[in-house]
Amino acid sequence: MNGRPGIVTHSPNQSGKIVAFAMPFEDVLTALSTDAVRGLRKGQVVELLARHGPNQLMETPPTPLWRKLAAQFKDLVIWILIVAAIISGALGEWPDTIAIIAIVLLNGLLGFFQEERAEHALGALQKLSAPLAKVMRDGVLRSIAASELVPGDLVELEAGDSIPADARLIRDFGLRVQESALTGESVAVEKDSKQVLTAGTPLADRLNMVFMGTIAAAGKASAVVTGTGMNTELGQIAGLLQRYKPEPTPLQRRLEELGKILIVVCLVIAGFIFILELLRGGSILQVLLMAVSLAVAAVPEGLPAVVTLSLALGLQRMVKRNALIRKLPSVETLGAVTVICSDKTGTLTRNEMTVREIIAGGEHFQVTGAGYAPRGQFSKVRSATSLPVGTAASAAVDPGQTADLLHALTIGTRCNSARLTPEGNGSENWRVIGDPTEGALVVAALKAGIEANNHEHRAVYEIPFDSERKAMSVVMHDSRGRLMMYTKGAPEVILAKCTGEFRADRIEPLTEARRKEIVQTISEMSSRALRVLALAYRELPADAATAYEERELVFAGLVGMIDPPREEAKEAVQKCHAAGIRPVMITGDHPATALAIARELQIAAEGDRVVTGQDLDAMTDDQLAAQVEGISVYARVSAEHKLRVVRAWKSRNQVVAMTGDGVNDAPAVKAADIGIAMGVSGTDVTKEASAMVLMDDNFASIVNAIEEGRGIYDNIQKFLHYLLAGNIGLILFVLITYVLGWPFPLTTTQILWINLVTNGLPALALSMEPPERDIMRRRPRSPREPVITLRHGLHMCGQGMLVTLVTMVGYALVYQGEEANLPRARTMAFCVVSYSFVLFSLSCRSQRYTMPELGLFSNPHLFGAIMLSSLLQLSVVTLPFARPFFESAQHFMWEWVLLIVLALTPVSVIELWKLWKRKRVPQPL
Ligand code: ATP
């Protein structure tokens, strides 16, 4: 229940309480003690939040820790080990049983902690993408976390917003809401704040209400929150919210399959040895134990936990670089991206608009001033016809005395939703709340002394800006009480709706010749990278109906604003070129503006053409697919064109990243391999459809995320290489000694120790390896490439065999066929395998670069892991209480020397081999 007297948002109950949709909105505001203009006061909010709690659906209780711990012991391998422990017990080998159980527990705990850490990291990231709401409190519009909303809050809604709570509409301009999540109805519902419904109206027909979890598809509205959290329609039906559970990535799935294949292969080998040994007349239990050891030797038990952890840590690093991953599998896809299709405004440019030029009444004006500070001078360019304007001489003008200029600026500031506020104490810094394009118009008008939107100039109606229509209109009364429509938008769109021109304080017909002149001016301004908007108006009859249309407008002028490219974007584009990634600009802006900026950023080269939305309409999908690789700039496109471009690139087998912000961008973002939403300017719908959110809307952050994605994939390959090569070495050693008929060299406990403890730590540390320095100078990885390619597999086998070889040498040199030497020979084999594996991790840091090239200490974690593993190994062969568990015998002095030499051999050979290969095929550093 809602807690506040008289207000319920769900169906009325028997007690006859009033329902918000059955009351005029004024009564709802009164019942909720909310000021219709200023919203709630701070004190009220604190009290209401304490009473109603946060605006959140309740989550299912978390899985208890003991369950998570227990889940670590459900793998087949663990059960094989437990069988091994029982067999050891049955054979009277109690130290073995204890050691196996201890190692199994240790492994379970290690896996548990790694998964907990990964889960926390992912959970924290999830919180970062929590939705926001625009709310009016104490007369100030601000953006707050949707969870902080309380009943009575005044919220502003616009196209693309996900509705943050149940609310009664107060004012709406063409609001349409997609309510399928609640009602199943797929067509967006047209809302109407003015209606007062009967108390029995079903949910789907409550046209004056909006509900949590639905989406504003078009239009704009203000509404007062009537229900929050579990006390919303969604809260009533949705029950408990499922906790975030990361889905496994394709790589994780492939690794799981690989693990299964390895188990089968081992079981076959183990079965083979088992039968052979039986034929030879060995004891069943002894042979069974050995077969189990072999199977355990081959399966990289620690792998899944290391993969999860390295993905989670990678995601944390990406957040630090402003890229928030929403879908775990995207991390892998990121490393394979070959094309980035990016918006221009705000992503490649700074989205800090400043009006530089105004054309009004056929005259050219220039405006000075920097940033959003409302200070600057106006001057008139002497020769109205001499182009380009930027180069002509100019004379200062007083905008107050220049009627046409004043008129154009007034339209710009009335047809406007942005606000300008000072930031900090000084008056130097100003901030725009709302669309920067509109903010620039507010600033230009203030420079001429025209006050921004205030309460006397309240819109009677508004047709909000929409990037499909590329225009915006408001209807309001002017200072003389006339009902006016003020319109602004893309110049060609506005010009097509104009029949007259405001010139020298009166309206003249807009002739064809004059139209041509204006079009030429637009092209010229755009080619200088200016973003050009046209301004127009129309006087409406006082009794005009509510169906206001943008037609028969009077052209009032053009504004040209600069929006400089981001410095980081230039560098990022260079990085893309070096990394074999193709940057493509897709913008709603004018083709000439787009091309000028694309050239500056080197996305387009001299002579490149721009393809417009119109050109795309004239192409079939096949024609587009055939040409797509030759097009770097698309202009004046709409969302559906973006979708076609994504599909065309995908049909060329490219891996496409696509940015989006607007409400209609969601399909293109969803269709891309990596859909990227803008964190600052993006709509909730696009964020919901995306795989990644850019927290700073910056193109450079996409490229950084790709770099991290490549690094994470590389690291997964590195520790996979390490663990598998190690296992190959181990299993070969056991097999060869068996085939040669030597006494069995390693006990189950020793094999487990090597596999889980000494190898586990360096593998974990390899997942923290910094990216190789040429990571962004390589071609993207093919997404079809297997995790282990044939070449890679051969390297793995070769390197594993080196370990086998040195271990065989160590074993043979100590054993020398004498039974008395066997305990020392086994200890020697145990130590050589352990130490050579631990040191081998150093050469797994890169398949190309040698240790000094990578920087000896550039991964301190690995050094720590090597030290710790070495000490652990040393302790189990030297500490008296540990020795019985590992059947360790004491070495002679010369054996220690031999051990050091042998343990260093594989890593040294591999490093020398890298150098030799480099000499044959020089590689860039
Ligand atoms: P991008 O797609 O790269 O973000 P963009 O911001 O130029 O570029 P849109 O927002 O779709 O793309 O704008 C398309 C065109 O609509 C602009 O070139 C401009 O002429 C016009 N326009 C942009 N903002 C407004 C606005 N607030 N009111 C009216 N017209 C606008």
- Annotated catalytic residues are 343
Per-residue pLDDT averaged across 49-74, rounded? 82
- Extract the tokens encoding 751: 């094999």
Q: Rounded to the nearest whole angstrom, what is the distance from the C-alpha of residue 479 to the centroid of ligand 1?
A: 29
Q: Rounded to the nearest whole angstrom, what is the distance from the C-alpha of residue 103 to the centroid of ligand 1?
A: 63
CA atoms within 13 A of residue 409's CA, in its CB half-sphere: 27
Strands 461-466 and 471-477: antiparallel
Residue 11 has pLDDT above 90, yes or no: no
The residue contributing the CA closest to ligand 1 atom 12 is 588
Total residue count of the chain as it appears in this document: 925
Per-residue pLDDT averaged across 123-130, rounded? 70
**The tokens 């200016």 sit on which residue?**
530
Residue 385 has pLDDT above 70, yes or no: no
Confidence of residue 445 (pLDDT cuts 50, 70, 90): very high
Helix axes 860-878, 822-843, angle to 10 degrees: 180
Q: Rounded to the nearest whole angstrom, what is the distance from the C-alpha of residue 438 to the centroid of ligand 1?
A: 10
Per-residue pLDDT averaged across 292-317, rounded? 77
- Hey, what amino acid is at 199? A
**pLDDT at residue 507, rounded to an integer:** 93
438 Cβ closer than 6 Å to some ligand 1 atom: yes
**pLDDT at residue 246, rounded to an integer:** 59
Ligand 1 binding pocket mutation candidate from 433, 467, 494 (most atoms within 8 A of CB): 467
Nearest-atom number in ligand 1 for the CA of 588 is: 12
**Neighbour tally for 793: CB within 10 Å:** 15
* H or E element in which residue 843 lies: helix 822-843
**The tokens 């974007």 sit on which residue?**
569
Nearest-atom number in ligand 1 for the CA of 661 is: 4
| Distance between CA atoms of residues 150 and 458, nearest Å | 27
CB neighbour class for 68 (10 Å; exposed up to 12, middle 13-18, buried from 19): middle
The residue contributing the CA closest to ligand 1 atom 22 is 489
Residue 454 has pLDDT above 60, yes or no: no
641 Cβ closer than 6 Å to some ligand 1 atom: no
The residue contributing the CA closest to ligand 1 atom 24 is 437
CA dihedral of residues 568, 574, 575, 580 (deg, nearest 10): 150
587 Cβ closer than 6 Å to some ligand 1 atom: yes
The residue contributing the CA closest to ligand 1 atom 25 is 489
560 Cβ closer than 6 Å to some ligand 1 atom: no
CA-based R_g, the chain, Å? 35
The residue contributing the CA closest to ligand 1 atom 26 is 465
**pLDDT at residue 545, rounded to an integer:** 66
522 Cβ closer than 6 Å to some ligand 1 atom: no
Judge contact between 702 and 694, C-beta under 8 A.
Answer: yes
Per-residue pLDDT averaged across 71-96, rounded? 77
Per-residue pLDDT averaged across 783-808, rounded? 89
Q: Collapsing DSSP states into helix, strand and coil, what is residue 680?
A: coil
pTM as predicted: 0.83
**pLDDT at residue 126, rounded to an integer:** 67
Residue 13 has pLDDT above 60, yes or no: no
Q: Rounded to the nearest whole angstrom, what is the distance from the C-alpha of residue 419 to the centroid of ligand 1?
A: 18
| Distance between CA atoms of residues 633 and 612, nearest Å | 8
Residue 686 has pLDDT above 50, yes or no: yes
Tens-place pLDDT, residues 704-751: 999 999 999 999 899 889 988 988 898 888 888 878 878 878 877 788
**pLDDT at residue 840, rounded to an integer:** 94
435 Cβ closer than 6 Å to some ligand 1 atom: yes
Residue 524 has pLDDT above 90, yes or no: yes
**pLDDT at residue 453, rounded to an integer:** 60
344 Cβ closer than 6 Å to some ligand 1 atom: yes
655 Cβ closer than 6 Å to some ligand 1 atom: no
Residue 494 has pLDDT above 90, yes or no: yes
Q: Collapsing DSSP states into helix, strand and coil, what is residue 486?
A: strand
**pLDDT at residue 426, rounded to an integer:** 57
Per-residue pLDDT averaged across 490-508, rounded? 93
**The tokens 């009164």 sit on which residue?**
30
- Extract the tokens encoding 219: 């239009």
Tens-place pLDDT, residues 221-254: 999 999 998 888 888 776 555 555 556 677 777 7
| Distance between CA atoms of residues 419 and 408, nearest Å | 18
Residue 615 has pLDDT above 90, yes or no: yes
CA distances from 880 to 95, 451, 867, 890, 899 (A): 14, 87, 21, 10, 20
Residue 610 has pLDDT above 90, yes or no: yes
Least confident of 420-434, 544-558, 812-826: 420-434
490 Cβ closer than 6 Å to some ligand 1 atom: yes
Residue 386 has pLDDT above 50, yes or no: no
Strands 692-694 and 323-325: antiparallel
* pLDDT > 70 in the chain, percent: 92
Confidence of residue 1 (pLDDT cuts 50, 70, 90): very low
* pLDDT > 90 in the chain, percent: 45
636 Cβ closer than 6 Å to some ligand 1 atom: no
* H or E element in which residue 217 lies: strand 215-227
**pLDDT at residue 16, rounded to an integer:** 37
Nearest-atom number in ligand 1 for the CA of 491 is: 20
**pLDDT at residue 14, rounded to an integer:** 39
**pLDDT at residue 384, rounded to an integer:** 46
DSSP for 145-209, please give it.
Answer: EGGG--TT-EEEEETTPBP-SEEEEEEEEEEEEE-HHHH---SPEEP-TT----TT--GGG-TTE
**pLDDT at residue 316, rounded to an integer:** 86
Query: Across the chain, what does the average pLDDT equal?
Result: 85
